[in-house]
């Protein structure tokens, strides 16, 4: 029991309590600052693109950029909190880098499809409703995502083409 009192008095000594409150304030200030920066960037994006948000592709790109910013803010907050707690994040970041490298090798096709999808939307190579010929398949574009394009052929069959494999597009609607 005496040892427990001694441990308690060491853990909750005035010096330790000041240290704990300093760390808590540091974490709180870091979270508030990162959140404020995130909100400022989101407001800047909204104000800059306010007149262009009637376009579906702009809405999608704005939504995508806000989502990326949100995840980046969460990661930065998480890393900042770990640093404030005194946890060495060097090994954690190195492990995350290795994990990211392994995942990127495994998902090359997915990344290629998404990047190609972004360029298809930005360049407006085709839109939903256009009559196109892609990869030898002719029909009407019925659905588009960042990853794939769906085409309904004249015989009624539906074809799904990964955006990363689209090299040549014949657009009969334009």
Render pLDDT for 133-160 as a digit per residue (tens, 0 to 9): 998 999 999 998 888 999 999 999 999 9
Cα end-to-end distance, the chain, whole Å: 85
Q: Where are the beta strands (DSSP E) in 101-164?
A: 131-134, 137-144, 148-153, 158-162
- Bridge partners (DSSP) of residue 115 are none
Distance CA 132, CA 171 (A): 4
Other C-beta atoms closer than 10 Å to the C-beta of 150 total 16
For residue 55, which phi and psi values (nearest 5 degrees)?
A: -90, 130
Q: What pLDDT does 101 receive?
A: 87
Distance CA 63, CA 52 (A): 13
Q: What pLDDT does 17 receive?
A: 67
Distance CA 17, CA 149 (A): 59
The string of pLDDT tens digits covering residues 110-140 is 889 989 988 888 888 898 899 999 989 999 9
Cα dihedral sign for 112, 117, 122, 126? Answer: positive
**The CA-based dihedral angle spanning residues 90, 95, 101, 105, taken in that order and rounded to the nearest 10 degrees:** 180
Q: Output the tens digit of pLDDT for each of the chain's 174 residues.
A: 677 766 666 666 777 767 777 778 888 888 899 899 999 988 888 888 766 666 666 777 777 788 888 888 888 888 888 888 888 888 888 888 888 888 888 888 888 998 998 888 888 889 889 999 998 999 999 998 888 999 999 999 999 999 999 989 999 987
Q: What pLDDT does 7 receive?
A: 66
Q: What pLDDT does 1 receive?
A: 61
Distance CA 128, CA 112 (A): 21
């Amino acid at each position: 029991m005496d040892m427990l009192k001694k441990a308690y008095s060491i853990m909750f000594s005035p010096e330790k309590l000041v240290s704990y409150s300093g760390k808590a304030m540091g974490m709180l200030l870091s979270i508030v600052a990162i959140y404020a920066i995130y909100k400022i960037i989101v407001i800047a994006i909204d104000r800059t693109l306010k007149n262009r948000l009637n376009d579906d592709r702009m809405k999608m790109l704005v939504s995508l950029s806000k989502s990326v910013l949100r995840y980046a803010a969460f990661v930065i907050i998480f890393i900042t909190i770990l640093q404030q707690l005194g946890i060495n994040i060097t090994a954690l970041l190195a492990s995350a880098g290795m994990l990211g490298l392994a995942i990127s090798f495994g998902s090359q096709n997915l990344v290629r499809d998404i990047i190609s999808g972004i360029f298809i939307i930005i360049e407006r190579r085709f839109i939903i409703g256009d009559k196109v010929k892609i990869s030898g398949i002719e029909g009407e574009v019925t659905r588009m995502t960042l990853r794939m394009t769906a085409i309904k052929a004249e015989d009624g069959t539906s074809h799904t083409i990964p955006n990363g494999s689209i090299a040549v597009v014949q657009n009969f609607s334009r």
